[in-house]
Structures are given as structure tokens and as C-alpha cells.
Amino acid sequence: MNRRDFLKLTSLLGMAGTGLFPYHPALATQDRTILPIPPLLHPDAQGNINLTLQEGSSQFINGKRTKTWGINQAFLGPALILDVNQKISVTINNQLPDPTTLHWHGLIIPGSSDGGPQDLIPSKQSQTVHFILQQPASTCWVHPHLHGQTGKQVTMGLAGLVLIQDEQSKKLPLPTNWGKDDIPVILQDRQFNTQGQFEYKLDIMSAALGWFGNHMLTNGASYPRHIAPKGWLRLRFLNGCNARTLNLATSDGRPFYVIASDGGFLPQPVQLDHLPLWMGERFEVLVNTSDGKAFDIITTPTNQMGMTLAPFNQAVPVLTIQPSSESHHTKLPDHLMNISVIPELSHIPERKLHLMMNPKLDILGMQAFSNRYGQHSMHHMDMAHDMHSVSQHSDQPFNFHAGNMINGVPYHMNQPLFNVKQGQYERWVISGKGDMMVHPFHIHGTQFRILSENDAPPAPHRAGWKDVVHVEGKTSEVLVKFDHLADQKRAYMAHCHLLEHEDTGMMCGFTVSA
């Protein structure tokens, strides 16, 4: 059975009887939780920020308390407001029982401050990082990056937004009333056990397919509602899932107007009926609520392997927008921000990265999926030949922790794969050929431009500054440049942002030298 057959298979499977997904579009709006809004956290007058990584408990389902981790709170964290050209000093106090790191996803900062897997913060100890941002205004985020444990620690709740602003962005005629007409929408799927605790396991199945939940949280709440003034509403979307691709739309078909991608504003708004959002990606959109009618933000089914298990085999509402009697009179801008022209590419060095999964992990992962959801799920799929080849070597131990690779090798903490020259453009050709899994590929220390995405030109809303590119069985090309240094001790990372692929080897370190 090949991957394309298996993609068809997953659409037939379900999670009936879990009782963990209480959502229905007809639920009374007034009975639902108000959307939690992360508090804003500004640096003090000297540019200092204090973050505490801490244990807590939160209530998500059935009145049960779930053990969680958070940043300055029980679950998730505040939204940091950072100004371009401001000297920033962040002290990270790790009060968790385990070591961790804190990676500044999307920030263009030196390797010494980036928070990669080498930059360990032991339990009950602190670390201080320093940086000055010199990049366009954008919505970024922060999350742990402990190798082999990233998926687990993100699942526990360690994540927060980073809002970068500059003088140009402050002058744009956009909604800016935080928590009212400018709202974050952090989407994360979760599974719970019978005790109401997060159920997470890195095993053969999740190493191959990723870890999927059957319950969607929006800013840490189940299908909440947000009361917004009539007019233009600004939504800052973050796909904070470990492995789930999202395909966002509105329940009544009203369009999104995309105004910004991972690394900053687009030249002008781009109208979309639906917005695919891969893991780690952010998009800012405007949506018009001036008609005063309530509607849902929904995520519709995708064809990603393992994605169409119930309830995600149909449209799932994740947030209700309920306009109030108040009106705001902001307009949809015709122009947002100028973006530099892509330079001539003929003399730019090219670097090739091939993303691949060990074939044995591929087959064993699918077999584990079949075993978990029943052999009947494989009714029309013939895996006999593939499984026979695996069974011939079943007496040999298989290390799935190194089952995913880049250029034929799994991640090695102390062996960067290559060196890049500071300030020099490179054309990175990132191939997923021979592997039909989704690979949202993230590169640290830069914001890049997509030259091609899965053998096609980038969509208009994906042609701006990005730090995640979609690779799925084909080839994507990006134009990168690194303005800061990264030595072997604090190398930058490039990796698949399906966290279980990252944790099992689909990551490489690289240095940047002068």
C-alpha cells in the first residue's frame, strides 16, 4: 500500500465513543466560554522582561482539572510586545520539573539567543538572553525546543505570542484594540485520557504520522465566543498544533482578507475563501462584521494523513464571532507595506535538503495506525507485501527516535550539517520526493521568500516574508539570507515543524560565519 492509498484510508476512520468533543454549531452562544485573551507584556523602561515557566492546572472538559504548563500563567503565555531597534533582555526562569529551552520562532536574532536544543535551561535554573530586533513588524511566537521532547512540552502548554511593531506598522489604519477588534486565535488540538489529563505519546505511530488530538482548543478554550464591534475585525491566526494542518474558513462564506504572513505585512490585502495553515504558521486577516450577524470560524477537512479521523472528517467550529451593537469605522486598506523585489537568482549559490523517512518507520507507523483503529480499517488495502518485508527483520530492534532524516542523516546535536556565510543569499531546494507526508519546513534565524512551493509558484498571500514553507511529496525553493552569526555551540536549526518528525530526527543544525 502506498501513501496515496493510505491517505484515502484515513478518511474512513473515526474516533466514535470518545465523548471528548462537545462542539456543535447550534450550541447556544450565551452558554459558551468567552474567548480568553492573552495579556500583553511590555518590556520595562530598561528593556527587561521576566518569564517564568511554571506548572499549573486548567479546566478544559467535563469539569476536570488538567495538569498544564504555562509561561507566567497556568497554560500558554502572555503576548510580548517588542519594538524594532529596542534593546531587549529576557530572563527565563524555569520552575518546571524538567529541563527545557525557549525558541523565538520567527525572530531574526543571533544563534546565541535563538533558544535551540543546545541552549538548555535546567529545572529550577534561569537563563537571560539579549537581542535587538531589526526586522519588519509581524506576529511571531515562542515555544520550547528540547530535542526529543518538543512535542510533549508544547502539548503541555508552553507557547506564547510575540508581537513585533515598528513605526510603519503603527501608522497603518488597522484595528489595534487588543482583545476587542484585534484578537489572537491560537489553535491547538489535544487528546485527553479518562482522568482528564493530556494524553501524549511519542511512539512508532506518532513518529511516522504525528500526534493528533480529537479536541480543538482556541486560546486554551473549547469552542469559545468573542463579542466584537461591528466593522473590520483583525484575527491573528497561529497553528500551534503538533501535527495538524488547518484549513480555516467562515461558516457563512464571508471572505478573509489576508494582510500579513509569518514575517510581516503583505503589499496589499489578499482575499481568500479559505486559509490553509500549516504547523507553526501565522497569518493576520481582516474579516468584515458590519452586517451584525454572528458566524463561526471553522476548520474544514484536509487530506493530510491521519487528519480526517472524527470529528475532523467534517467542518469543526473553533470560534464564534458575535458582533455587538458598537461600531468601528476602520476601512480595508488598499496598500499595506512595500516588500523588496527578489534579486536576480542566476548567480546565487544553491543548497539541497532532502526530507525523508526511514521506510521501515513508514510501514510500521501505518501498521500501528491500523492496529489502533482496527484491522477492518485496512479492508481494501493490501499491506501484505510491505509488512512481509518488515516482518523478515522484525527481530532487529528499530530506533524510531532516528527514523526521520535530512539528507540521509538524523539530527545530531553536536554536528552541524553545513555552514552559511553571513549576509549571503542562498537558494535552498527542499525536497520531499519519495515521502508523501506533510512537512512544514521551518528555518531559524531568518525570514525568507518562497520561490516555489510544492513545484508551483507561491500563492499571493504566501509570497511575502515567511519562516515556514510547505513541502509535501514535491520540491519547494526558498531564498534565504542570515544577518547574524551562529557558531557550533549555538547553531541554528532547520527542520520539519510537524513536531514528532522534528523530535525523531528530521532536523539539522547549521552555522553562520562571517
The pLDDT tens digits of the residues spanning 162-176 come to 999 999 999 999 999
Q: Which three cell numbers stand for residue 28?
A: 447556544
- The correct CATH number of 40-171 out of 2.60.40.420, 2.40.50.100, 3.40.640.10, 3.20.20.140 is 2.60.40.420
Give me the count of residues in the chain. 514
What pLDDT is stored for residue 10 in this prediction?
A: 34
The DSSP string of 266-278 is EEEEEEES-EEE-
Query: Are the beta carbons of 51 and 128 closer than 8 angstroms?
Result: no
Q: How many CB atoms lie within 10 A of CB 213?
A: 23
Is the pLDDT at 429 greater than 60, yes or no?
Answer: yes
Closest by CA position to 283, among listed 476, 70, 39, 459: 459
Q: Which residues, in sequence order, are bridge partners of residue 130?
A: 89
C-alpha angle 456-457-463 in degrees, rounded to nearest 5: 140
| CA distances (Å), origin 71, targets 83, 142, 154, 183 | 21, 10, 11, 19
| pLDDT, tens digit (0-9, with 9 covering 90-100), for 116-139 | 999 999 999 999 999 999 999 999
What pLDDT is stored for residue 28 in this prediction?
A: 57
Q: Where are the domains of the chain?
A: 40-171, 182-327, 350-378+400-512
Averaged pLDDT, 432-456 = 96
What pLDDT is stored for residue 366 in this prediction?
A: 87
| pLDDT, tens digit (0-9, with 9 covering 90-100), for 290-338 | 999 999 999 999 877 656 678 888 999 999 999 999 998 778 999 999 9
- The correct CATH number of 182-327 out of 3.40.50.10490, 3.40.50.720, 2.60.40.420, 3.40.50.10300 is 2.60.40.420
Indicate the pLDDT class of residue 15, thresholds 50, 70 and 90. very low
Of residues 372 and 464, more confidently modeled: 464
Instruction: Compute the distance between CA of residue 297 and CA of residue 274 in angstroms, rounded to an integer.
Output: 10
This prediction's pTM: 0.92
Instruction: Compute the distance between CA of residue 413 and CA of residue 408 in angstroms, rounded to an integer.
Output: 16
What pLDDT is stored for residue 310 in this prediction?
A: 80
Specify the residue for cell string 488495502. 381
Answer whether 40-171 and 350-378+400-512 agree in fold: yes
Is the pLDDT at 397 greater than 90, yes or no?
Answer: no
Helix, strand, coil in percent for the chain, rounding step 5:
15, 40, 50
What pLDDT is stored for residue 24 in this prediction?
A: 47
Q: How many CB atoms lie within 10 A of CB 508?
A: 22
Say what the alpha-carbon torsion angle 378, 384, 390, 394 is, to the nearest 10 degrees. 90
Is the pLDDT at 383 greater than 80, yes or no?
Answer: no
Instruction: Compute the distance between CA of residue 496 and CA of residue 502 in angstroms, rounded to an integer.
Output: 6
- The correct CATH number of 350-378+400-512 out of 3.90.1170.50, 3.40.50.80, 2.60.40.420, 3.40.50.300 is 2.60.40.420
| pLDDT, tens digit (0-9, with 9 covering 90-100), for 255-280 | 999 999 999 999 999 999 999 999 99
Say what the alpha-carbon torsion angle 54, 55, 60, 65 is, to the nearest 10 degrees. -150
Q: Which amino acid is at 378?
A: M
Indicate the pLDDT class of residue 7, thresholds 50, 70 and 90. very low
Rg (CA), the chain: 22
Indicate the pLDDT class of residue 16, thresholds 50, 70 and 90. very low
Instruction: Compute the distance between CA of residue 172 and CA of residue 230 in angstroms, rounded to an integer.
Output: 19
Averaged pLDDT, 475-486 = 98
What pLDDT is stored for residue 309 in this prediction?
A: 77
List, as own/partner pairs, every contact residues 67-70 make where C-beta atoms lie below 8 angstroms and the sequence separation is at least 24, other chains included.
67/156, 67/197, 67/198, 68/156, 68/157, 68/198, 69/96, 69/153, 69/156, 69/157, 69/158, 70/157, 70/158
Indicate the pLDDT class of residue 417, thresholds 50, 70 and 90. very high
Instruction: Compute the distance between CA of residue 191 and CA of residue 198 in angstroms, rounded to an integer.
Output: 6
Say how far residue 163 (Cα) sits from the centre of its chain.
16
| pLDDT, tens digit (0-9, with 9 covering 90-100), for 28-56 | 566 789 999 999 999 999 999 999 999 99
What pLDDT is stored for residue 503 in this prediction?
A: 98
Q: What is the mean pLDDT of the chain?
A: 90
Cis peptide before 276 (omega within 30 of 0): no
Instruction: Compute the distance between CA of residue 362 and CA of residue 409 in angstroms, rounded to an integer.
Output: 16
